[in-house]
Amino acid sequence: MTDFGIANVSGEDNADVGGTPEFAAPEQLLGEPQGPAVDYFALAAIVAYALGGRQPFTGPDPKTILAQQLSERADLRALPESIAEWVGKGLAPSPSGRFADAHAMQHAWRRAVKQTMRRERALKRWGWLLPLRKS
C-alpha cells in the first residue's frame, strides 16, 4: 500500500487538504505554493513513522496537526539522537529550514546513520560502564 499524498478515505472531511495531514507539510495544509521541500517533509515524516512506530504529528483534524508542525512539536523520542536531528530538519516548519535539495538530504541521512551505528557499536562494547540509556 502506498500513499502519494492524494489518498482520501471516503467520508473524511479533509478534501481541502493536499495530502494526508499527518505527512503533509505546513505549506500544503495552508494551501500555499509548494516546491521540492514538501517532499523532504513527507520523507522525514515517513522515516519517523517507520523507525519510531508513531507519526510525528497527530491530531483529530488538520488544524491541530498544523499547529503542532508550526510549533515544532514532533514526537521523535523513539528515534536515536542523530536520526531525530535529521528528521527534525526535514520537518522544519519553513521550507527554507529544510534540506537544500535531495542530495543534501541523502548526504545528511548517511552521516546520521553512520553516527547512530558508531554509537550503537560503542554501547555494545562499553555500555555496561555507562548509565542506562533513556527510552
pLDDT digits (tens, 9 = 90+) for 82-120: 999 999 999 999 999 999 999 999 999 999 999 999 988
pLDDT beyond 60 at 33: yes
Please report the pLDDT score of residue 3 as a whole number. Answer: 53
CATH of the domain at 88: 1.10.510.10
pLDDT beyond 90 at 81: yes
**Domain-embedded: residue 113:** yes
**CA-based angle 16:87:74, to the nearest 5?**
60
Per-residue buried b or exposed e for 27-48, using 16+ beta carbons within 10 Å of the residue's own CB: bbbbeeebeebbbbbbbbbbbb
Range of the domain at 51: 21-129
Name the domain count of the chain.
1
**Domain-embedded: residue 4:** no
**Domain-embedded: residue 68:** yes
Beta carbons of 112 and 83 less than 8 angstroms apart: yes
Please report the pLDDT score of residue 132 as a whole number. Answer: 57
pTM of the predicted protein model: 0.79
Please report the pLDDT score of residue 8 as a whole number. Answer: 42
**Domain-embedded: residue 1:** no
Q: Which residue in the block uniquely carries the three cell numbers 467520508?
A: 11
